[in-house]
Amino acid sequence: MLDAIFKPFAEQSPVCVMAVAAVRRLLGNDRLDRLFDRARVGQYVRELMFSDLFDLMAAVVSGSRKSVHHAYQGSELGVSVVAVYEKLKGIEPSVCQALVRETAAEVSTLMAEMDATAGHAGRRAPVLPGYRTKVLDGNCVAATEHRIEPLRKTSAGPLPGKSLAVLDADRRVICDLFPCVDGHAQERAILPQVYPTVRAGDLWVADRNFCTAEFLSVVSAREAHFVVRRHGNMAVRPTGDRVRVGRCDTGTVYEQPVVVTTPGGAGLWLRMVSVELDHPTRDGDPVLTVLTNLPPSVDAITVADIYRGRWAIETAFQELAAHFNSEIETLGYPGAALFAFAVAVTLYNAVALMRAALAVHHGATPVEEDVSGYYIAADLATTTRGMLIAIPPAHWDPFETMPAAAFAAVMVMLAGAVNLSHYRKHPRGPKRPQPPRVHDPASPHVSTHRLLEERKAKRKQDR
């Protein structure tokens, strides 16, 4: 299936071969440039291609280069670094969105081929059979440095942008992104952009920030369903008694029929499911309440469990921040900052494709629970560059054009050579309580050596 030149890398570091193959498949130069042509609004191309910008940003986001300037120095683009930064700051939100949407769609197609190859052996069980579960959440790009001239006179942290992200909860792929250049915008202000993407058969799971009568009515009108945490300002009218239905892992579950008034004045008949928590949330809330239009055949305990599963998108955001440089503090212009985040999302989805291949060969549970994204990212950052030098680009070209079924088979074959113990998580135990610290103004510093010697002497004395 693979040229002989791949053999040493496929044997010693198959994860890196999988990663580059996935990136070439999803993010080949021709595909990226065609995507840019379809999605751009006003930005144009001269000497510097969109695929060149992606390669520079991917090097920074993946950690193989420290900055855009560092990546530029290692390239042979034939344009000035000023031209690179000018192009980056002009990247449009529509391009960032198309980058995530189109690559995520390809990832889902390839995952389906892997499922067919393995007879669904490594596929994660769906959140709710018969529904496409999508988790919606907002992400604010962290404050940047004050490099841009208008920012130099303020001490406030500048926010270059915000976005809403949609996670395919069954595939664990970020399937859509709604970027906004206004970092101070409310998440609800971006929400109307999501409405056209709601399809019949969807199940939307979201936090209370998205609990608006308009959103709930739009989802219902499109024959989709939702499990959304109730916002304190959301007025509901009970139409029946509150009934205890049992327990979930976090508390006692109650259910009550209610009506919410839609913007048009009609009534939206829902169920309100509340969980009296054994332990308050981190915000101190003793009760968690969600609204849903799922049919009664989906019981209230299942509804509560579905909402608890929204942690998956928060975990995805954490991985983007921890394993990829998704928020580069030197990129102050909104276009560049949002593009960096979109690139990180596409690489996250490429890793999700690799995880799917690993799950086919090793099982979904070991891969999901034991494999560390940190160690995978570290391996990619240290090995991939040398591998790309050793294997000329022409040998990677077939990955871009081979049929989806053949590509899926190659990924599964490479996954069989991966030793999962090299990427195992090492969760730490509970933190020990910190002892009270003694502050002595006369001794602002201490000698570590002396303290260790004192401890050693004390232990000898105690014996």
pLDDT tens profile 6-29: 888 888 889 889 988 998 999 888
Amino acid (one-letter) located at 460: K
pLDDT at 74 over 60: yes
pLDDT at 278 over 60: yes
Residue 151 is given by DSSP the state G
pLDDT the model gives residue 129: 94
**Average pLDDT over the chain, rounded to an integer:** 88
- Co-location of 409 and 341 in the same domain: yes
pLDDT at 221 over 90: yes
Domain membership flag for residue 166:
no
Return the closest-CA partner of residue 62 out of 418, 347, 388: 347
- Co-location of 338 and 294 in the same domain: no
- Co-location of 339 and 419 in the same domain: yes
Domain membership flag for residue 196:
no
**Percentage, residues of the chain above pLDDT 90:** 45
Query: Mean per-residue pLDDT for 38-45?
Result: 84
pLDDT the model gives residue 388: 83
- Co-location of 358 and 408 in the same domain: yes
Confidence label for 109 from pLDDT (cuts 50, 70 and 90): very high
Domain membership flag for residue 139:
no
Domain membership flag for residue 100:
no
- Co-location of 339 and 409 in the same domain: yes
- Which residue among 253, 282, 298 closes a domain? 298
The DSSP bridge partners found for residue 246 are: 253
Domain membership flag for residue 80:
yes
pLDDT the model gives residue 423: 87
pLDDT the model gives residue 147: 77
- Co-location of 292 and 357 in the same domain: no
Domain membership flag for residue 303:
no
Confidence label for 197 from pLDDT (cuts 50, 70 and 90): very high
- Which residue among 247, 275, 298 closes a domain? 298
pLDDT at 48 over 90: no
Rounded Cα distance between 154 and 348, Å, is 34
pLDDT tens profile 386-432: 888 889 888 988 999 999 999 999 999 999 899 888 888 877 777 77
Domain membership flag for residue 403:
yes
Query: Mean per-residue pLDDT for 214-225?
Result: 96
Domain membership flag for residue 272:
yes
Return the closest-CA partner of residue 87 out of 119, 113, 49: 49
Taking only Cα atoms into account, the Rg of the chain, rounded to an integer number of angstroms, comes to 25
- Co-location of 291 and 363 in the same domain: no
pLDDT the model gives residue 122: 58
pLDDT the model gives residue 1: 65
The DSSP bridge partners found for residue 166 are: 136, 176
- Co-location of 351 and 415 in the same domain: yes
pLDDT the model gives residue 143: 67
Within 10 Å of residue 98's Cβ, how many Cβ atoms?
18
Residues 6+ apart with CB under 8 A from 328: 60, 61, 67, 68, 144, 337, 340
- Co-location of 283 and 343 in the same domain: no
- Co-location of 352 and 292 in the same domain: no
Query: Mean per-residue pLDDT for 98-106?
Result: 95
By residue range, what is the domain housing residue 382?
4-92+334-423
The count of structural domains within the chain is: 2
pLDDT at 342 over 90: yes
- Co-location of 348 and 419 in the same domain: yes
- Co-location of 341 and 290 in the same domain: no
pLDDT the model gives residue 65: 83
Q: Distance from CA of residue 287 to its chain's centroid?
A: 28
